[in-house]
Amino acid sequence: MQKLVIWGTGGHAKVVADIVRLAGKWEIAGFLDDWALHLQGSDFCGAKILGGREQLEKLRSQGISHLVFGFGKCHARLELSALIKPLGLSLATAIHPRATTARDVPIGSGTVIMAGAVVNPGASVGENVIINTLALVGHDCVIEDGAHVSAGARLAGKVRIGRAAWVGIGSTVIEGVHIGAGAKIGAGAVVAEDIPEYVLAYGLPAKIIRKMAMDEN
């Protein structure tokens, strides 16, 4: 099996590691985390914490060709993706064996699809997307790069989720709605109208609460 590293050492990284092992395609060579440098060399989730981004240039010489992100922050996943590609590293896609994705759905590199998630026909899923546990992506939806569809969220048909947008846990998005880039939808919201980019919205129905910084998600 080819080797990969997972960037992150939190709870999300544990879930990603479980998916990678269940899928049986990759061997986890270790974990990276800029915030856990004091734990370098220690055990985490069945492998070693190798260090932070200072380790990236060494990975290829160690026979490691792929990386997947194990954290939820949307803009950070996109920024770090741009960092690793010039180093000759590729992004791995991790799909839980008990997720359901229609045959015609293109899925971008670096995307993670978790247990119980369903992606229906005609949809498209970009790079570095998270489709979390038990999430539903309806027919003909478009999920742009870096977006996060949280656990239990439900997207009706023809919904568009913009680049690095976040759809909160248990939210419902009505058919044909467009959520703009960098927007964040709060937990349990019902989104019945288009949401512009870089705003926080929540409620029943969802209302815009405030503007957000471009890298806040």
pLDDT digits (tens, 9 = 90+) for 189-204: 999 999 999 999 999 9
Q: How far apart are CA 184 and CA 211, in angstroms?
A: 10
In contact, 166 and 146? CB cutoff 8 Å: no
Catalytic residue positions, numbered: 139
Amino acid letter, 202: Y
Locate CATH 3.40.50.20 in the chain: 2-92
In the CATH scheme, what is the homologous superfamily, with its name and number, of domain 93-217?
Hexapeptide repeat proteins (2.160.10.10)
Instruction: Return residue ranges of the chain for CATH 2.160.10.10.
Output: 93-217
By the 8 A CB rule, do 145 and 56 touch? no
Q: Residue 37 has what pLDDT? A: 77
In this prediction, the residues of the chain whose per-residue pLDDT falls under 70 are none
What's residue 215's pLDDT?
80
Rounded CA-CA distance 184/169 in Å is: 11
Say whether domain 2-92 belongs to CATH 3.30.499.10: no
